[in-house]
Amino acid sequence: MKRIGFLLKVKKDKIEEYKKHHETVWPEMLDALRRTGWRNYSLFMRADGLLFGYFEAEESFQASLEGMTKEDINAKWQDFMAPYFEDLGGAHADENMIELEEVFHLD
């Protein structure tokens, strides 16, 4: 299991709506995440919209991302969520996730 952290930025005027959508993530999307090795997945948000994501990958960050590219529901979710993020450059949020280096861990 590999611990993964990443950052994204939600547009300030869309924060509350973004949170609402994450109270009821589509069951098909949740199933796809589980199938592709996303475990213990959490999102944390600062008041300005800075979003920190954490999950534990069965294999690697890249393998988890690649697995999701094969899931039809992921493309639909990414299209649906794209307007909520800043600075995606026309791409989807999952194409802008950059793995953060883990510098400390305490069990």
Contacts of 81 (CB under 8 A, 6+ apart): 18, 21, 92, 93
CA-nearest of 86, 90, 88 to 45 is 86
Separation of CA 56 from chain center: 12
Catalytic positions: 22
